[in-house]
Amino acid sequence: MTDDFDVAIIGYGPVGATLANLLARQSLRVLVLDQFDRAYTLPRATHLDGEAVRILQSAGLGEMLVSHLGVYPRMRFEDANGALLIDWPRSTLPGSHGWRDSNRFHQPELEIALRARAAASPSIALRLGWRVTAITQDDGAAIIEATDPDGSTARFTAAFAVGCDGARSTVRQALGAELEVLAKPEQWLVTDLILNDDAPSLPGGTVQYCDPARPFTYIEAVGRRRRWEVMLLPGDDPALFATPDHVRSLLRRWLAPKDAELERAVVYTFNSAIATRWRNGRLLVAGDAAHQTPPFLGQGLCAGLRDAANLAWKLAWVLDGRGALSLLDSYQTELRPHVAHYITEANRIGAIIQERDPARARARDAMLLTQPQVLVPIRPRLGGNEGTDALAGTLAPQPRLRDGQMLDDAAGPRFIVLSRTGLPGQVSDETKARWARTDAAILEGEAADYLDAIGAEAVVIRPDHYILGVARSAAELDKVTQAIPLAAG
Ligand SMILES: Cc1cc2nc3c(=O)[nH]c(=O)nc-3n(C[C@H](O)[C@H](O)[C@H](O)COP(=O)(O)OP(=O)(O)OC[C@H]3O[C@@H](n4cnc5c(N)ncnc54)[C@H](O)[C@@H]3O)c2cc1C
């Protein structure tokens, strides 16, 4: 059987749309199917970390993001009396990724921009309004059956199919995965309001109201949008909870009805779960289809974008023969433990916020008021790097080069050898041949401050911005180059 496409993406949410753009940048023939013909109009995510923004820059959205991202100043945790329990200040300046480490954004604007870019790409075919009903595979291809808006069915084939089809993923089921539950799900009301001009002033950033009588989260979203998340307690009726009158009564300590327009109120179940398999042959899952986290760290979409970045270069390598099929095994090996760190940390923070027992909440407050905590972002390492150089599997920074370009823009979707001047000329012929096969970008005499800071002569960076290895000599650079996962031959 011949395949119609290199990669079929099921689901045109933010993860599917990012993956489509990253694959198109490598000239792959991409099919995207979604059951709906337009992007979801209401935001879910409000926060993106610097790594996520950097991935979107790689997907071609750099210029758009400059004008659409807002500063995310801090997250405060308060007890029932408003005393500060935990502070989490964020820098308002660009961090190591070339972008701020924490950003506010409006998800529908991002999705529209991702879709506009994909629609303009000659290598992406869109089938919107098509619901995927079955996915199978044979030795040569993934086979996708879908129903169009008129109810007729069609079959598509692709070398690989990636399910970016959300928490209730059809593709996850098709590849035989279960969901491993990491913590008890909780129900929260999520309500967005748009402030009127004369609304009272509200806090900046995010506030976690750790009140055992009723935990609340307040989020300063972009523009005049503000979000409240309200934990449902035993006996609360989710349908009643989300009615406009009830929402207004819940928010009356902040706003009167005349102060804001209610945009939406939905009760969500905050799940903590990871798929037991992320790949079976030619079928893969990414984004919420592969993992779900409570939103206390603002990491669900960020994790999905990391999946897209990890898969984009590996799929391209397997398709053009640079990588063996087994390269795709490292997708789950690397990212499953990585996302599990974030979910575990979100649950640790969630347990502080969601404490409902008054005695335990008092003990928590007493401890935190005497020993105030300041949170910092966690930066897990990719799985599979145990026993290697301490920096292997960690994120490389994105410095500006001497000509002012950002590193990722200069290199494109390639491996990078970032090196002191002269070192690349001292490596073995085999290393030079591997760099040529890899199509690596060799950047000599750049980022000297960074190399000084890590005490290195060179660093090899993967297309998804993670460090493959660090070298202090030409011989070490030969060794790191051997770890580039080129197929034999
Ligand atoms: C209240 C809340 C707050 C959040 N805050 C943050 C935050 O601040 N930061 C953050 O990083 N993340 C956050 N998240 C998580 C983030 O919103 C999600 O992780 C992200 O939107 C998931 O994107 P996705 O593309 O994987 O899936 P989705 O956006 O769910 O997209 C899946 C797509 O697949 C399509 N689809 C499904 N089945 C089929 C089928 N059979 N055929 C065709 N199409 C199909 C759907 O129509 C949909 O378009 C939050 C989530 C919630 C609920």
Q: Write down the architecture of domain 407-482 according to CATH.
A: 3-Layer(aba) Sandwich (3.40)
Give residue 227's identity as a one-letter amino acid code: R
- Output phi, psi for 204, to 5 deg: -85, 155
Query: In the structure, what pLDDT confidence band is assigned to residue 388 with cuts at 50, 70 and 90?
Result: confident
| pLDDT recorded at residue 3 | 61
Distance from residue 13's CA to the centre of ligand 1 (Å):
6
Give residue 322's identity as a one-letter amino acid code: R
Q: Which of the listed residues 34, 126, 189 should we mutate to test ligand 1's pocket, taking the one with most ligand atoms within 8 A of CB? A: 34
Q: Which of the listed residues 47, 226, 301 should we mutate to test ligand 1's pocket, taking the one with most ligand atoms within 8 A of CB? A: 301
Residue 425 has pLDDT above 80, yes or no: yes
| pLDDT recorded at residue 386 | 86
Judge if the beta carbon of residue 16 lies within 6 A of ligand 1: yes
Distance from residue 446's CA to the centre of ligand 1 (Å):
38
Residue 37 has pLDDT above 90, yes or no: yes
Angle subtended at Cα 225 by Cα 220 and Cα 231, rounded to the nearest 5 degrees: 65
Residue 300's region, left for phi above 0, alpha for psi from -120 to 50, else beta, is alpha
Distance from residue 16's CA to the centre of ligand 1 (Å):
10
Judge if the beta carbon of residue 129 lies within 6 A of ligand 1: no
| pLDDT recorded at residue 2 | 47
Please compute, for residue 125, the number of CA atoms within 13 A of its CA located in the half-sphere on the CB side: 14
What does the pLDDT average to over 167-177?
A: 97
What does the pLDDT average to over 317-340?
A: 98
| pLDDT recorded at residue 1 | 41
| Distance separating alpha carbons of residues 84 and 76, to the nearest angstrom | 7
Burial of 176 (0-12, 13-18, 19+ CB in 10 A): exposed
The pLDDT tens digits for 228-238 are 999 999 999 99
Residue 358 has pLDDT above 90, yes or no: yes
Query: In the structure, what pLDDT confidence band is assigned to residue 373 with cuts at 50, 70 and 90?
Result: confident
Judge if the beta carbon of residue 396 lies within 6 A of ligand 1: no
Please compute, for residue 255, the number of CA atoms within 13 A of its CA located in the half-sphere on the CB side: 26
Distance from residue 424's CA to the centre of ligand 1 (Å):
43
Q: What CATH number does the domain located at 5-59+106-179+274-353 have?
A: 3.50.50.60
Cα distances from 329 to residues 14, 385, 478, in angstroms, run 24, 14, 25
Give CA 266 to chain center in angstroms. 23
Claim: this prediction has a pTM higher than 0.85: yes
| Distance separating alpha carbons of residues 210 and 217, to the nearest angstrom | 8
Please compute, for residue 475, the number of CA atoms within 13 A of its CA located in the half-sphere on the CB side: 0
Average per-residue pLDDT for the chain: 96
Other CB atoms within 10 A of residue 58 CB: 25
Query: In the structure, what pLDDT confidence band is assigned to residue 75 with cuts at 50, 70 and 90?
Result: very high
Report yes or no: 26 and 316 within 8 Å, Cβ to Cβ. Answer: yes
Question: What are the structural domain ranges in the chain?
Answer: 5-59+106-179+274-353, 407-482
* Residue whose tokens read 């401050």: 449
